Structure 1
């Protein structure tokens, strides 16, 4: 099973201001780990989601896509804390910017999360809000170590959000504790700039690969595609542009799911094998991820494609 740990939330997207001057919001299910879990399941993977879900109406709204996609809720008992909210503004390029009001995604205990981890995990994917708060980070690191001991590959997409952090230096120390555990790290170029703008992407990748477990680093470059690094090779791939464009919400989460999926299918999602991926292998992985992300961008909001939709794209690598 692929297990994804981290937040689910409601995106409240501001609609264009009408002539009456009233702000209207539309509600959409979201959260980077939530999106990734759905994308993994729609790509055909047995997937579990490790996040508390509120008893409120938004919680019911969040559960529906998980159930539709076949994602197993690993914390089935819903909590009284209100659903976490993100207020979303789209810029002229339809790229999303967020402000957060947190609730149910933090209503957990270390004991509860550890107990919910299934046996036989292939992957434990973490990220999003996990390193934001010191007390939360301590719990998620503990759970990640528990997953590692159960034999899981660890992967992380931190989605660095400086606006959520009061002490960014302390946040970077917490994030480093996670990065010391993971085998696969996926970050955006914006993440790397926020962490240290003085370093190049290549320097960041080299430092990540020098951590105790890390064997594969993927960096997304927006409309310039993505680049991947191992000890053995480096590769770059462009984006996949769908025939029609919706927006970029969830593109990175879908790409992450695509990368984990193709690595597993190729038998490479194992310690020692990831580090041996060469340029040709990395290009194949990135192109598959790009197609998954591109098809997500064909619709508004995060709507990851099914595996059958991905397989209809004619120029996927053999």
Structure 2
């Protein structure tokens, strides 16, 4: 079982051009997309979050159930669902503005235990910024790591939500001893201001950096491994990084490598195969509108 902990929200995606283009609601949130992608790839997965009782919240849970994701660890609240308004650039890249005040996912509390059979827990995005929930997710991350559970982190920086950049960077560094696998985009890496080597020295067994159409690179104590991106006609990049998260975790589980020791020993063939699989999965997501990660059958062969 791979548990994904973090926010579920509604992306409002423009369908047209101009400031007043019609906005279409889409189910989203980095951790939520990761959970859906894991379910579609066939990995046993569970979602750990706090979701509203409103109509958006019900739709979010319905999709998780339809994808086979366990929602028994989802807390519920009467507060509204978080909204993220997307702006899609000419190259398909997406930027967001958020409506987060008083929303349900901010009031997440750390559970007393992880679901039975948990092999890994994945964290990231807004849930690690917005208090008081951020401290609860941080508590869960540290507790999981202390129990020897494999932990994955994708900070997925949303700078507009971070009131004190230096404080967040310091907090990010404090998480690294509790992280097994750190995955982040090239843009996130620049914003955080560190290097893969510095982050490896602080705790993770591997750091994976995504470079958009240029591919992915993994850094470990034993070396660097890179694959090119898959060429595809990009509709938008919404959910691409979340798909990479899921593909990495799914691939590691298939290789029985959800431990820091196994991750460090993966080797060249293992890493290039894993990164290539993640690049193919992300390309499928980029080829269609919104966060629509691939099913396992779409990646066969």
Which band: TM-score by shorter chain?
over 0.9
Look up the SS of the partner of 1:72 in the other structure.
coil
Look up the SS of the partner of 1:13 in the other structure.
strand
Which residue of 1 is the match for residue 38 of structure 2? 40
Unaligned runs of 5+ in 1: none
Deviation readout 1:161-205 (Å, 9 max, x if unpaired): 221111111111222222221000001010011111xx6xxxx11
Look up the SS of the partner of 2:4 in the other structure.
strand
Off by >6 Å, runs of 4+ in structure 1: none
For residue 52 of structure 1, report the CA deviation from its aligned partner.
1.0
Q: 1:300 aligns with which of 273, 289, 295?
A: 289
- Relative to 1, partners in 2 of residues 1:56 and 1:217: Cα closer, same or farther, differing over 3 Å? same
1:129 pairs with 2:149: no
Q: Quick check: 1:259–1:285 contact (8 Å CA) kept in 2?
A: yes
TM-score, normalised relative to structure 1? 0.89
For residue 264 of structure 1, report the CA deviation from its aligned partner.
1.4
For residue 148 of structure 1, report the CA deviation from its aligned partner.
2.4
Unaligned runs of 5+ in 2: none
For 2:133 and 2:282, how far apart are their aligned partners in 1?
29
Q: Quick check: 2:6–2:32 contact (8 Å CA) kept in 1?
A: yes
Deviation readout 1:286-305 (Å, 9 max, x if unpaired): 10111111112221111111
Q: 2:22 aligns with which of 21, 24, 42?
A: 24
Look up the SS of the partner of 1:78 in the other structure.
strand
Which residue of 2 is the match for residue 90 of structure 1? 88
Which residue of 2 is the match for residue 155 of structure 1? 152
Deviation readout 1:255-302 (Å, 9 max, x if unpaired): 111111111111222121211232332111110111111112221111
Q: More deviation in 250-259 or 144-153?
A: 144-153
TM-score, normalised relative to structure 2? 0.94
For residue 17 of structure 1, report the CA deviation from its aligned partner.
4.9
Which residue of 2 is the match for residue 258 of structure 1? 247
Q: 2:279 aligns with which of 290, 304, 314?
A: 290
Q: Quick check: 1:230–1:276 contact (8 Å CA) kept in 2?
A: no
For residue 25 of structure 1, report the CA deviation from its aligned partner.
1.1
Report matched runs for 1:1-318 at 5 Å: 1-17=1-17, 22-102=20-100, 103-110=103-110, 113-115=111-113, 117-133=114-130, 135-196=132-193, 204-212=195-203, 214-242=204-232, 245-311=234-300, 314=301
- Relative to 1, partners in 2 of residues 1:280 and 1:120: Cα closer, same or farther, differing over 3 Å? same
Deviation readout 1:206-249 (Å, 9 max, x if unpaired): 1111013x10110001111110011112111111234x543211
Give the structure with higher Rg (CA). 1
- Relative to 1, partners in 2 of residues 1:76 and 1:192: Cα closer, same or farther, differing over 3 Å? closer
Q: Quick check: 2:209–2:217 contact (8 Å CA) kept in 1?
A: yes
Q: Quick check: 2:75–2:108 contact (8 Å CA) kept in 1?
A: no
Task: Give me the CA root mean square deviation.
Answer: 1.8
Look up the SS of the partner of 1:45 in the other structure.
coil
For 1:177 and 1:96, how far apart are their aligned partners in 2?
29
Aligned length: 299
For 1:74 and 1:99, how far apart are their aligned partners in 2?
30
Q: Quick check: 1:231–1:276 contact (8 Å CA) kept in 2?
A: no
Q: Quick check: 2:10–2:84 contact (8 Å CA) kept in 1?
A: yes
For residue 76 of structure 1, report the CA deviation from its aligned partner.
4.5
